[in-house]
Structure 1
């Protein structure tokens, strides 16, 4: 195994080229803004319910969302303008870039591969651990020589939302063989307003959790959480028995919870509330779906809601290398999982590997 490359600030936050000056601040922001990524996915998954009646609203959303080229050519599955057909794979990234302080750098602690089945009726959410040990390929056009380090470093090495997303996509395609039909990058600013618009969401806490940030105690059981509580809960990693794997599971649980809330409230027959939710997310979102419009994509995904979501944990284990903590993919099970994503056989993989299916 190659020796991992030491990032500029290791071991404080190995592989993160941007957090040396403010490691605590970046850790707080990195964990908080992950939820915005989830809200973006939920809109793609749930807004198609009753879509025809809301096409005008969705068209406005399409115009409001920023577009960019976020996928490296080697990581793109389809040509721009191709019809929306399953199966589909989307790369979803959370960025901690702040408009108010762009000089503080950026990273992506949240990476999710969303796999939509051939029949466009089920979504599998595969969370990629932030500390996964990978080979990040060289990117000569930005002077990056390549590195063997944590995957969350790739976004920062890319130097921008576009460059970072492209480098993450290229890294994942080399690792998994999966090519992507689209990508989205979302930052921190829309979380509170999005959850507030919904009036909170019902979360089911699966393990007693004590916040290391506020001291709040989240007892086991289901309860309604407001935006501040959700934000606090989804930040937690160090206080969980399974660490970042637990944080990933809670993110997936939140995807299902907010999708269920959107369905329960029938948002598409409440255009004012839907408009507020859409605008709270659109300002924080950059997407790449080629020439396909968001309304057309949402129409294609109209068969998916909270009842057709499955959370997947990457088969991997924690390891210490040169006194730095990494997550290492477990062979051959992780590679079998990547094969299942490529061949649209995740249902069979999940049935045979239930211990790696998250309860969401």
Structure 2
């Protein structure tokens, strides 16, 4: 989306140049893959974010920190970011390759049970398809460490804080108001969920805000006039991604989204509520979630958003 929004700079040439900056793998389970292979829209993409944990044994302590479904209506000039709560109680299918027998657990556990990385994303995609009925046109696995460098190359991003946030990682305090943040500060802020009025739901909105802020900053006039820094930013972003484009050339995908702008990103909070079961905190879906997924399948998410403003986030 960032590269698409640059526009007017020999977009296909740039897209081809950065095609080599990303790692490509089959991230989608066959059951979760939409066998279409074009960019006509509407499109659904699975976005998975996870920290690279130093000295972690492969497949251990690798639960996905961020799970989003990006829905692009026909025309590909706008997008909805639907955050899936990490504690959502779901049925996770069996994974013979990793030895996971299948069963109920929090949705972010699917990434670990699949072995992390490619296998973990495949199992997570199968879990979400089973839950929502949606198939995906592609997927991206994001390493947050690369995002931090990209934000710093952008010169930081402007993030607006609604209520005081205290970091459990750095002890930093983010006060209400709009602030210019470094990469480390922005990611620290977007990771917090404890002590917030709506807990993890607020964290999801902050992560949606961060993506919009990065896109906004990357397409600012001063950035577009500095091709060297723009080159560094896009390479930093590209190096933090592993992608599955479902057989579509990356340059075609980027060109197809060339009309996308930062203010055309809309956040949606999955209709759900927190509940404690056997002394364990989970998130359970509410009835509007079913109509949400049906509206995506019917390519009518715009109507659902108008009818359910409660669940549309202000970015």
Shift of 1:266: 5.7
Query: What's the TM-score, normalizing by structure 2?
Result: 0.94
Q: What secondary structure sits across from 2:69 in the alignment?
A: strand
Partner residue, 1:216: 172
Contact 1:96 1:107 in 2 (8 A): no
Partner residue, 1:170: 126
Contact 1:121 1:303 in 2 (8 A): yes
Shift of 1:115: 0.1
Q: How does 1:26-175 map to 2 (within 5 A)?
A: 44-50=1-7, 52-79=9-36, 82-98=37-53, 100-103=54-57, 105=60, 106-175=62-131
Q: How does 1:170-319 map to 2 (within 5 A)?
A: 170-265=126-221, 267-319=223-275
Contact 1:183 1:287 in 2 (8 A): yes
- Residues of 2 paired with 1:299 and 1:347: CA distance? 23
- Residues of 2 paired with 1:336 and 1:187: CA distance? 32
- Residues of 2 paired with 1:196 and 1:96: CA distance? 18
The total of aligned residue pairs comes to 313
Contact 2:269 2:312 in 1 (8 A): yes
Query: What's the TM-score, normalizing by structure 1?
Result: 0.83
Contact 1:259 1:306 in 2 (8 A): yes
Deviations 1:290-346 (A, max 9, x none): 22122111110011111111100000000011100000001x211011111111211
- Residues of 1 paired with 2:312 and 2:22: CA distance? 32
CA RMSD between the two structures: 1.7
- Residues of 2 paired with 1:148 and 1:65: CA distance? 33
Contact 1:183 1:289 in 2 (8 A): yes
Unpaired runs of at least 5, structure 1: 1-43
Deviations 1:207-253 (A, max 9, x none): 22222333322222112111222122112110211100000011111
